[in-house]
Structure 1
Amino acid sequence: MTTTITWDDSIRSFLRQAGSSNPTPGGGSVAALIAALGASMTSMVGNLTQGEKFADIQSTISEVIEKMRRLTAECEELLQADIASFNGYMDALKLPKSSDEEKRIRTNALHEAAIQAIDVPLRLMQVCREGLVFTHRIAESSNKNVISDLGIGAILFEAAAQSALLTIEINLASLKDAERKQHYSDTLTSLMSEIQDLKNKSLQVTRNRILK
């Protein structure tokens, strides 16, 4: 069954669907929502860093707010793409396999579906890295009164990335292409290291400013 979820659905509706016996929305969609919430926290801090006191950083703040808007829209697309990729994999599993030709077609379809199921959460991890780059950029200069919210944004971006990583890992296990699998593994190691470093730096600044 195809599940359609939009940003206009209520939080209650999403939670009910995510907690039901239906396989979608699943972890990948939840991760996309978490990333969007991280973007909303960073955006809120930007929108509260306004006025004469912050005049010298307004161009940076405006850039960050716009970036969060774009990342939020991309998270919505990735939420839907995660559902579509799961449905695609299930459709591939249902393909006939009576003849050698049918088996070949089914094997190829499963391979392509597995790649799609990896590429969608991988893109979400890249979104999280982008979000953290901009979150960290305003950590030292944004409104101190809401600096804890910026730290929460950083935590949510990293949590979404970790969640997306698990989604990738379970699909990576079924990938038969050893060379492609190694390429993905190398990319993920580097990407996750960068994400964790940015989150840690953002949190360190957050806590330092809270204590001042």
Structure 2
Amino acid sequence: MEINDRLLDVLRYELEKVGLQTTPPVLDEVLLVVKGDTPVAYVQEDGFIIYSTLCNKEDALPVPTIVNQVWEMERAYQEAPVMHIDSVINHRKLIEYNGIILTARYDGDGQFTFASWQYTYDNNAVSFGHYFHKNHYSAAKADFLYRSGLADRSILFQLDELAVIRDTLLFRGMQDSALQLKEQESLDNLLHRVDSMLTPSNEPLLVAENEMEQES
């Protein structure tokens, strides 16, 4: 996927949330992620990441999650058609299932707004919008999955609770110098599981996409 200005702006916006910066593409579309003057990671055009040996582990930890989400958002936005309804024509339709649609709008300054709506009976208008600003794509996808009936809302933790758990695990991993190797490995595995729960599985979305293609 081409590294365009929009992707760069979104990536820069998300990295700044965790105290990281990026440089413009160089060397065949390779991005350099830095913290101050220290290289943290090199990101290739396809999103593949090479980590710098000069950085601290905690600085590199959020990079894959951010890069994966930014690349996914940009790819979905590029492939999505413009909405046919005048009141939301500035949105693009990412997916539709069971009368519920998930849309995206780029607001500039590195920020997407996502929304899920319910179609009216004739599909000529939408109502009951749920909005997710500032690139909150994972929450928007989860909302779409629940509203459309593709997923069951009866999970053990809500997304905001999982985010608190993740932050607590990250803090312990960075601050607890007494952690043994096996404890650190267990903590990293748990972090990976929490991250996967915070980023809903794309499998139900793929099912909905296949059904959309068969109906069109």
- Pairwise same-fold verdict (TM > 0.5): no
Name the structure where strand makes up a greater proportion of residues.
Answer: 2
TM-score by length of 1: 0.31
Name the structure where helix makes up a greater proportion of residues.
Answer: 1
TM-score by length of 2: 0.30
